[in-house]
Amino acid sequence: MNIDWNAFTPGSALAGGLLIGLASAWLILMNGRVAGISGILGGLLNNEGSNRGWQLAFILGLLAGPGVWALFHVLPAIEIRASYPVLIAAGLLVGIGTRYAAGCTSGHGVCGLSRLSPRSLAATMTFMFGGFATVYVVRHLLGA
């Protein structure tokens, strides 16, 4: 293994992680809801009557984040190198996959592991494997 120490940003990664944990803690303690983003967005698209309000508010909070951040500070880099066809294929896979798995990086990866759920551990190991394997194939076998 070859660690890229120049790219390693332990301080902001840890601080950002703590904020993600804090947001998840807020939603479960205040609202009694798990901060699983694919579940919240999927629920909103399913139009689950009484849940609509808080689900929409959470997604609007996510969308508003960069704008509010930019009022106080320069936004961190968002570098997207994938082509549009790849981004669209990826979006479709992420959309369908997370709904079948009933969770993504937040619902299974953060909240599920925090709940010590074996189901979420299996999901997290599987999507991490999928991510590692895909980047290996794309970058090292196909050389893209």
Partner 1 sequence: MNKATFSAFIAGLIFSFGLLLSGMANPEKVLGFLDLFGAWDPSLMLVMGGAIAVGLPTFALAKKRQSAVLGGPMQLPGKRALDKRLVLGSLAFGIGWGLAGFCPGPGIVASGALQPGALAFTLAMVTGMLGFRLLERRSN
For residues 54-113, which are near partner 1 according to CB under 8 A?
A: 54-55, 57-69, 75-82, 84, 86-102, 104-106, 108-113
Residue position matching structure tokens 């689950």: 48
Residues in contact with 69: Cβ distance below 8 Å, sequence separation at least 6, in sequence order: 75
Total of residues contacting partner 1 (CB under 8 A)? 111
Tokens representing 50 are 């009484």
Shortest Cβ 72–partner 1 spacing (Å): 10
> Among 48, 71, 139, 143, which residue interacts with partner 1 (rule: CB under 8 A)?
139
Check residue 30 for interaction with partner 1 (CB under 8 A).
Answer: yes
Residue 9, SS3 per DSSP: coil
Interaction residues for partner 1, span 5-24 (CB under 8 A) = 7-10, 12-24
- Is 49 or 78 the residue whose CB approaches partner 1 more closely? 78
Question: Got the DSSP string for 64-114?
Answer: HHHHHHHHHSPPPP----S-HHHHHHHHHHHHHHHHHTT--IIIIIIIIHH
Question: Is residue 15 a contact partner of residue 27, using CB atoms and an 8 Å limit?
Answer: no
> Among 48, 49, 71, 126, which residue interacts with partner 1 (rule: CB under 8 A)?
126
Shortest Cβ 49–partner 1 spacing (Å): 14
